[in-house]
Amino acid sequence: MANLRAPKVRRQPVSVTRKMSASLPGLRQLAQERGLRIHHLGAGYPHPEVTDPRGFLAHQARYFAHLEAAEGLNDPSTVPEHLRESFSYTDTLGPVTTRASFARVYGSDWGVALDPARLLPTVGATGGISLACSLFERPGIPIAYITDAPTYAGFLARAGLCQHARIFSVDMDEEGPLVERLREQIRTARAAGYHVPFYYTIPDGHNPAGFSFTQRRREAILEVARSEGILILEDAPYLYISYLDAPTRPRPFLAMAPEQTVHLFTGSKIGFPGPRVGFLYTEADVEIDGGETVPLLDLLLVESSGDILFQNPGALRGFEALLHDADFAERRSLWPVAEEKLAVYRENRQIMLEGLERGLGAWPDLFHWTHPQAGFFSVFTFRTPGVRTDDAFVGRLVAEHGVVVIPMYDFYAADARERNPAAGYDQLRLSFCFSESMGAQRRRDLASAVDAFCSAARAVAGVG
Ligand SMILES: Cc1ncc(COP(=O)(O)O)c(C=O)c1O
């Protein structure tokens, strides 16, 4: 018997996406034994067609060569600045050139003047979530995290690591979280003795809810955050994966109120997930122990330097290349970079929405799905009595129809399921971002995946 102990350490529950990938090989075999093709509507990863790094690597090499030429080095023994910097210790804020460039380009895209000194590199948005949680968990007092019902699985996983944190979730309608419920949850948590640092959300292309918050709702949320004195932790991976025309795009909280917001940018969707480039930005000041008011960023910077200490300067300088065009001029906008990805996602979204309409549009009383304004997902709801989208249901969809989807129930925090034990058990998350095939074959595969899903849904509901 082991004599090593980990007092009070708890085993964390396995997420539904991990369970799904673990059970997939067996289910896949069952489906194949029945002669069924496997259709992917489950994975939430960037599409391989837009994540081939070779074009980027060639551009990065040319950008670095351009920087070297600009240095005018004649002595071959002198190491070029970008190379020296990329392979040295940097400070916790990372290379200043990358932050200066990103502040200008991102700030101009979203109509906000960003101070590069307040841009803190993170290990993707995941690192930003973790950093924000760690800071407020550090004093060891009971913490309440306010978030949506449903919310991002990665946030549930991170929040679940802290044994003195509890989630207070807020139900949503088609515009966003219900603001009265938001206020109520903040007050309920406080009355129960919890400190409430922030409301965590994904206003654009919500994962997993499959829609974006309206501008009107954002303003109402901000009013609650201001009057209650809490931050908005804005996770923004899909800001540029947008299907709306510029004038109709709602504004990120970053642009509406940088002093009330902790904004998380990630390079994972507009660039590549592997390099794990992200930035946290905030102009908030907070009152700390002893009554002093300090910039939140200073606290986060110390937290970050105690955590990962040094960012990856090579990855950040690589991201800097992405901020420059083929002639090495700093981009005026990241939208042209996004457009290369959007061409595929826009098309996939249309194939999915048209396929659902064609296959199930005749039964609006039985089926509903969201029309995402951004992001990778549509949430499908069975309005059919008696349907329960649990693991067994999702397993049957694979084994009997070859269709892989993700059930929604696991994206609801425990308190949401206490309020409504059936929360999410009538929903599925359909993703249109990922498939193994490219080009015309990708289009055909997605169309047949949606058709297979529709015939499965009709069979479940007993229609058609
Ligand atoms: C809402 C949300 N937050 C964070 C992430 C992860 O971002 P990153 O790759 O930057 O860690 C994802 C990725 O799917 C996401 O959907």
Q: How close is the Cα of 46 to the center of ligand 1, in Å?
A: 11
Ligand 1 contact, 125 CB (< 6 A): yes
Percent of the chain with pLDDT over 70: 100
Residue with CA nearest ligand 1 atom 7: 125
**Residue 280 shares a structural domain with residue 344:** no
Mean pLDDT of 245-264: 97
Its sign, for the CA torsion 308, 310, 315, 321, is: positive
Could you tell me the CATH number of the domain that includes residue 414?
3.90.1150.10
Last residue within a domain, chosen from 300, 322, 344: 322
Q: Ligand 1: does its nearest atom lie under 6 Å from the Cβ of 95?
A: no
Q: Is residue 155 part of a domain?
A: yes
Residue 49 resides in a domain: no
How many structural domains is the chain composed of? 2
Query: C-alpha distances in angstroms, 396 versus 155, 257, 289, 380?
Result: 28, 46, 54, 17
Q: What is the CATH number of the domain that holds 249?
A: 3.40.640.10
pTM: 0.96
pLDDT tens digits for range 76-92? 889 999 999 999 998 89
Report residue 431: phi and psi, to 5°: -110, 140
256 and 341 together in one domain? no
Q: Are residues 86 and 132 in the same domain?
A: yes
Cα of 393 vs centre of ligand 1, distance in Å, is: 27
What is the rounded distance in angstroms from the CA atom of residue 262 to the CA atom of residue 132? 8
Residue 1 reports pLDDT greater than 70: no
Q: Are residues 27 and 97 in the same domain?
A: no
Please report whether residue 355 resides in a domain. Answer: yes
**Ligand 1 centroid – CA 232 distance (Å):** 17
Does residue 180 sit in the same domain as residue 202?
A: yes
> Which residues have CB under 8 Å from 294's CB, separation 6+?
285, 286, 288
**454, 359 contact by CB (below 8 A):** yes
Residues 249 and 129 in one domain: yes
Residue-averaged pLDDT of the chain: 95
Would you say residue 436 has pLDDT above 90? no
Name the DSSP class of 88: S
- Binding site membership of 318 for ligand 1 (Cβ less than 6 Å): no
Work out the burial of residue 120: count CB atoms within 10 Å of its CB; fewer than 13 is exposed, 13-18 middle, 19 or more buried.
Answer: buried
Same domain, 261 and 300: yes
> Residue 397 above 70 pLDDT?
yes
Confirm or reject: Cβ of 314 under 6 Å from ligand 1.
no
154 lines ligand 1 (CB under 6 A): yes
Segments forming the whole domain that contains residue 137: 81-322
* Residue that terminates a domain, selected from 322, 356, 379: 322
Ligand 1 center–CA 310 separation, angstroms: 21
- Residues 306-363: pLDDT tens digits? 999 989 999 999 999 999 999 999 999 999 999 999 999 999 999 999 999 999 999 9
The alpha carbon of 20 and the centre of ligand 1 are apart by a number of angstroms equal to 19
Residue 369 sits in the same domain as residue 314: no
Q: Which residues, other chains included, contact 421 with Cβ-Cβ below 8 Å and sequence gap of 6+? A: none
Note the pLDDT tens digit of each residue in 17-59: 788 778 878 878 888 888 888 898 998 889 989 989 999 999 9
266 in ligand 1 pocket by Cβ < 6 Å?
yes
Residue 2 has pLDDT above 80, yes or no: no
Looking at the domain assignment, is residue 64 inside a domain? Answer: no
Q: Is residue 7 a part of any domain in this protein?
A: no
Pocket-testing residue among 15, 151, 268, 319, ligand 1, by greatest number of atoms within 8 A of Cβ? 268
313 lines ligand 1 (CB under 6 A): no
246 touches 215 (CB < 8 A) = no
Q: How far away, in angstroms, is 153 Cα from ligand 1 center?
A: 9
Nearest to 253 by CA among 371, 104, 110, 131: 110
- Supply angle C-alpha 91, 94, 100, rounded to 5: 130
12 burial via Cβ count (<10 Å: 0-12, 13-18, 19+): exposed
Which pLDDT score is estimated for 23? Answer: 81
* Ligand 1 center–CA 205 separation, angstroms: 11
- Compute the radius of gyration of the chain from its Cα atoms: 23
The last residue of a domain, from among 322, 344, 370? 322
- For residue 451, pLDDT beyond 90: yes
Which tens digit of pLDDT belongs to each residue from 172-186? 999 999 999 999 999
Q: Which atom of ligand 1 is nearest to the CA of 278?
A: 10
Q: Is the pLDDT of residue 169 over 90?
A: yes
Region 110-126: mean pLDDT is 97
Cα distance between residue 88 and residue 93, in whole Å: 14
Is residue 53 assigned to a domain?
no
121 belongs to a structural domain: yes
Q: Are residues 39 and 89 in the same domain?
A: no
Ligand 1 geometric centre to CA of 418 (Å): 27
Residue 275 predicted with pLDDT over 90: yes
Same domain, 273 and 149: yes
Would 108 be classed as within a structural domain?
yes
Residue 272 and residue 125 share a domain: yes
Same domain, 395 and 456: yes
pLDDT of residue 450: 97
